Structure formats: C-alpha cells, structure tokens
Amino acid sequence: MTRQELLDEWLKRLEAPESVQFTGALADANGPGRCCLGHACEAYIALGGRLEVTRMSDAGLLETNKLGAVRAVLAYNGACMTLPETVADTLGLRDIAGEYSPTESQTESLANNNDSGLTLPEIARIIRARPRGLFKEEGEA
C-alpha cells in the first residue's frame, strides 16, 4: 500500500458517519469504537497490512471509567495508546501520537485531540490541513 492509499482510507473512516469514536486507548475490544489513531490501524489492516491484534485490560494503563470499571482494549503490535511504528511510518507521520505544532509555541497531538473532545471529522480536518510537524517532509527518513 502507498502512503496516499493509507491516508485516503484513514480519512474516509474518520469522516464516515457510522464510525464510532473511542477515547483513552486505540480501540474498544468489546465494540466498534476506535480512537482516531485506532481507525488508522484498522485502515492499515483493511489495505493488507499485517498487525498483531491482541486483547488486553487497560488496568494500570488508563483511567478507569466513571464507575471504576476496567475496560478491555485492543493493542496493535503491542501498542494500545499510540500508533505502532509501522503504521506511523507508512502514513509518513513524524510521531506515533500524531504530534504537530499549530503555532510556534504550541505542541498538540491527534491522540490528545481525540481524548479532549474533538470529533473524528474535526480530527480529519486537522489532518487534511497538514499542520506543521504532523507529516515528514518529502525524502525525510
């Protein structure tokens, strides 16, 4: 798969009305919820990429929900909160959390955007805008 094919599939998933947003981890093991980065992992798999998907508890890793229950989450190649390197590299992202700089003095991340209340379509708009630092420059390793 090419970088552009993966980016297009990821954005399509983020903008799809049926996509379910999840917070605090990449993916809900008990339902269709995925954070914005979890949707990137699912797009990677849908296009033929290979990731080991494992079910794990978020106990000790993430905040418990308001009732204090521990959730079951999915990990992709062992990562449950940020992108696996292979997905970030294929997308051309500089960082596994999707860090970028909206201003000279500010750093933000797609992961934080997801968990702080932005919707998946709003995050897709950020990605489409290609903010400074989100993607590697052409030819950059």
* Pairing mode of beta strands 53-57, 27-28: unpaired
Tokens of 140: 């950059």
Model confidence pLDDT, tens digit, residues 25-44: 999 999 999 999 999 999 99
Q: Give the HSE-up count for residue 88: Cα atoms under 13 Å, Cβ half-sphere.
A: 20
Question: What's the pLDDT score for residue 60?
Answer: 47
137 confidence band (pLDDT: 50, 70, 90): confident
Model confidence pLDDT, tens digit, residues 44-71: 999 999 999 999 865 545 444 444 556 7
Whether the predicted pLDDT of 79 surpasses 90: yes
Q: Which of 92, 107, 112, 100 is nearest to 10 (CA)?
A: 92
Backbone conformation region of residue 73, classed left if phi is above 0, alpha if psi is from -120 to 50, else beta = beta
Give CA–CA dist 21/114, Å, rounded: 8
Question: What's the pLDDT score for residue 71?
Answer: 74
The stretches of 1-141 forming alpha helices (DSSP H) are 3-15, 36-46, 85-91, 110-115, 120-129
This prediction has a pTM of 0.89
